[in-house]
Structure 1
């Protein structure tokens, strides 16, 4: 089977169980860049469902499509969570709601982590928020709790990992962190040894970490020396390539544009250079120092500013306001904490 979609596809989910679709062909739901869910039956386009914003991720409601086996959860770039019923012939939005922030919903998983009657909805977002919603008898969601990890969430799954009796939420972030969340506080491993043995283990781990840190520092110094010799001898220096994950979206609720910069390595500083007289807004979660340079004879730019980040900051969020009708170029120079110094525009 194959189907050529004319729109950008952000995510896809399918039901392959024969009893789920009845006499329907193998059916897939595409989250498309034109703010629609496209329903594909076999090789053919069946219909689309128009949404209020661009869907970025989709998942089966209650992990199996709900009581009709034809219900799909979707998360949008504007941070909204919705439920769509997609039977044969035509579909509809059952509900759509704001989440706790306007950041893009990057992943959705359904699993019973709160011990309720129905599977819960676990939502991961671009701003690092993890939200848990319980479901009632009418399929409506209710916020149970949130957790923030300060990095973009790229994947969520659930299962028995550190306990045989309680469910963990396993989270993966953009920079590669993998960690678990539990409903209650408990030791990572059940039936821990006595405190004395545990303290010995902890001391061994600390020694290993210190040894690894020492090796990293030695390699960093050696690398700096090599690059300096290359630059002095050959007239050129090898520069690392690094990927910049960026997102630029307008938030109607804030009346401003949100610009997100994220790297897998720590950010040293970001310079913003704009042809427009845009205004920078404060973002509380940013761990950075902002400096603006006034426009004068030496600085022709209406906006010239730098964001110098604190240690181990991999994600930076900028919020800007512009006058309606203005247009122009905004340049960003992103410099990570690597040697030799280099930047990406």
Structure 2
């Protein structure tokens, strides 16, 4: 069953953070519901819709930015109490706007996540989690990495409070009071958590999670165990999941899963009737792209009684619905102008007259303000010019499938252009969703600028995505100059560090069966100093130094598939990798950083001869695939000419050539999807070759042209002979 939903825009609010919009329970199953929204101006407002017009129940004064809104109430009652967090304070309102709670927490960080369960209040900043019982401290926990979201199992069904933290280190931390009782590892960083069916399921222990790479999963969690019920893998580079809700949109009696994503995609999935042993994932029934980050999504009845809707808010403040109601215009079949063709009711005519009057009033106000500004900028006036501060939501993350970085920029107003500048060589790749025109400028060789490119955006573009390909072994900074379409002209700067091992990503499983090269460092360095050095080299390393006496992190290369294990403490560090180039980069950088601080290091390297063969065998399937793909693309032009000019000759082609012609669209799509991928693989083999013999004290740079020729005429045996030093 495919849903047919129609978008209806209701109002434009202020900027909103994720999960800052909720629907209050309505009267009956299809009764009209009220909407509560908190924005960046600190305004919390509760409103409903009557005949398409906004009816405000209450609206607070501006204040600190609202970071989260939750509904609560006594256990077993209707959850219609409104809780909002701003800075380190939690306020509670009734649906009539009465303030019944003003609680300043002991949290030293800004509240980023919040969950309310009866008299239990759970709040978390970037690293600190606090639990309050009747507004009194009950438990606290310091997390080693950033906390993205928190939730607890359904207390009414599970009969105990079990908090769960979604952490940036690709894990869920299940807490028992103030300690971790279980760690659930994931393939990507979880951004949001939600109770299955909004109540945790029959037992209250089923949790939905959405990750940074767009994956959605269902887990059955307890204090001692965790079972994965199903996973929806992200396809076509879907954005991260910012909000989830369960609501029956298909009318089959089973709540559907509503998803709001960072790239503006809204989705509806039908849940399986049974989440037993077959573990069937939900099926997608509807998707809609609004081209802005969807910060909150809810299911309910708001616009018209009896018609279900998917309600959503965007980052820039749009509040709209995707309704099951049919929006029709009655058009007569007779002639005449356009106005005579559309039959409008008296109510519609009055609305149009009212809207026209409002537009005229606004136009007059704008004209007066423009004249006032123009007169203030004249030479004989004192003059003034202010640069407005515009909030920008930006994020840069590594896409594991493509081994490229995605840079997302979203501004509260239209973007005029974005200038990208970097002091390290970077490659900008095309993004299908972008309508912006990119132009590259020549960099001055006397400066350290290696990239200079401008994206000129189309009208009313508030969100821009950029794909950036990096090269390991070089570190620097990517700077974005974001210019909005406003007067006076101004821009804001954003800096994004490019790490030395930028294509490595965190993982939780270390493969001990591989052949590893080991780099050992000993010296008078502290744990904090070594942690800072590791953070300088690698992405996804926690900002704060581990509280324990020892730290250990495992990484995998998204490009090559090699692994790296970092284990260090005070005075000693050990790095293991099957890629000798990774060891070489770490050795050079760590030595340089220690020299800056005048710390003497005792360095030892244990080179495993089998690691070279294992890495070459690891890269062989990729190189062979792209070599064959390049051959097929090269042949396509000639085969198409044969087919075009001589149909008789095309019938004599071999089965292999016919297969290439038959699959030419897939071949070209695969080739264009990863431009330059084969050249990157060849460069990785050359670097491996140079670094391998560098540790053996042999200079093989004169042989690089021969190795390049061998890679162009690829053969696994020939490449292995190079590394075995049999080719002279």
TM over 0.5: yes
Tell me the equivalent position of 1:75: 210
CA contact (8 A) 2:213 2:234 kept: no
Which has the higher Rg, Structure 1 or Structure 2?
A: 2
**8 Å CA contact 1:292, 1:304 repeated in 2:** yes
Of 135, 138, 146, the residue aligned with 1:8 is 146
Could you report, residue by residue, the CA deviation over 1:108-152 in whole angstroms, capped at 9, with x for unpaired residues?
A: 111111112311110100100001100112333111110110000
* Offset, 1:255: 3.0
1:36/1:112 Cα in 2 relative to 1: closer, same or farther (>3 Å)?
same
Structure 1 residues 217, 320: closer, same or farther in 2, change over 3 A?
farther
Task: Quote how far apart the aligned CAs of 1:88 are.
Answer: 3.0
What SS does structure 2 have at the residue aligned with 1:216? helix
What does 1:25-104 correspond to in 2, within 5 Å? 25-100=160-235, 101-104=237-240
What corresponds to 1:250 in structure 2?
A: 398
For 1:182, the equivalent position in structure 2 comes to 323
Question: How far apart in 2 are the matches of 1:48 and 1:293?
Answer: 48
- How far apart are residue 46 of structure 1 and its match? 2.3
Alignment counterpart, residue 198 of structure 1, candidates 348, 357, 369: 348
Provide the C-alpha distance between the structure 1 equivalents of 2:198 and 2:206, rounded to a whole number of angstroms: 10
Farther-moved stretch of structure 1 (308-317 vs 178-187)? 178-187
SS in structure 2 at match of 1:110: strand
- Greater helix share, 1 or 2? 2
Partner-residue secondary structure (3-state), 2:390: coil
Q: Residue 96 of structure 1 aligns to a residue in which SS? A: strand
What are the superposed Cα offsets for residues 155-213 of structure 1, whole Å, 9 maximum, x if unpaired?
Answer: 1112111122121111000001101111342369xxxx962442342243134224324
Q: Which of 243, 248, 258 matches 1:107?
A: 243
Task: Say if 2:421 is the partner of 1:284.
Answer: no
RMSD: 2.5
Whether the 8 Å CA contact 1:116–1:134 is kept in 2: the answer is no
Q: Is the 8 A contact 1:114 1:183 kept in 2?
A: no
Partner-residue secondary structure (3-state), 1:4: strand
Q: Is the counterpart of residue 311 in structure 1 residue 448 in structure 2?
A: no
Identify which of 219, 223, 233 aligns with 2:369.
Answer: 219
Q: Cα–Cα, structure 1 residues 208 and 237, in superposed 2: closer, same or farther, change >3 Å?
A: closer
Mapped contact 1:124–1:155 kept (Cα < 8 A): yes
Distance (whole Å) between structure 2 residues aligned to residue 66 and residue 184 of structure 1: 29
Seen in structure 2, the aligned counterparts of structure 1 residues 94 and 16 have a Cα distance that, compared at 3 Å, is: closer
Once residues 407 and 434 of structure 2 are traced to their aligned partners in structure 1, the CA distance between those partners, rounded to angstroms, is 12
Unaligned runs of 5+ in 2: 1-137, 276-280, 330-342, 494-728
Are the structure 2 counterparts of residues 142 and 239 from structure 1 closer, same or farther at C-alpha, using a change threshold of 3 Å?
same
The two structures have a TM-score, normalised by structure 1, of 0.89
The residue number in structure 2 matching 1:21 is 158
CA distance in 2, matches of 1:285, 1:238: 34
Which has a greater percent of strand?
1
What secondary structure sits across from 1:2 in the alignment? strand
User: Relative to structure 1, is the Cα distance of residues 9 and 327 closer, same or farther in structure 2, using a 3 angstrom cutoff?
Assistant: same
Q: What is the CA-CA distance between 1:229 and the residue it aligns to?
A: 5.9
* Matching residue within 336, 340, 359 for 1:209: 359
Q: Which residue of 1 aligns with 2:484?
A: 336
Structure 1 stretch displaced more, 261-270 or 168-177: 261-270
Compare relative contact order (CA 8 Å, sep 6+) and give the higher one, 1 or 2: 1
Q: What SS does structure 2 have at the residue aligned with 1:218? A: helix
Task: Give 1:296 deviation, angstroms.
Answer: 4.2
SS of the aligned residue for 1:199 comes to helix
Partners of 1:344 and 1:247 in 2: CA distance: 15
Identify the residue that residue 409 of structure 2 maps to in structure 1. Answer: 261
- How many residue pairs are counted as aligned between the two chains? 336
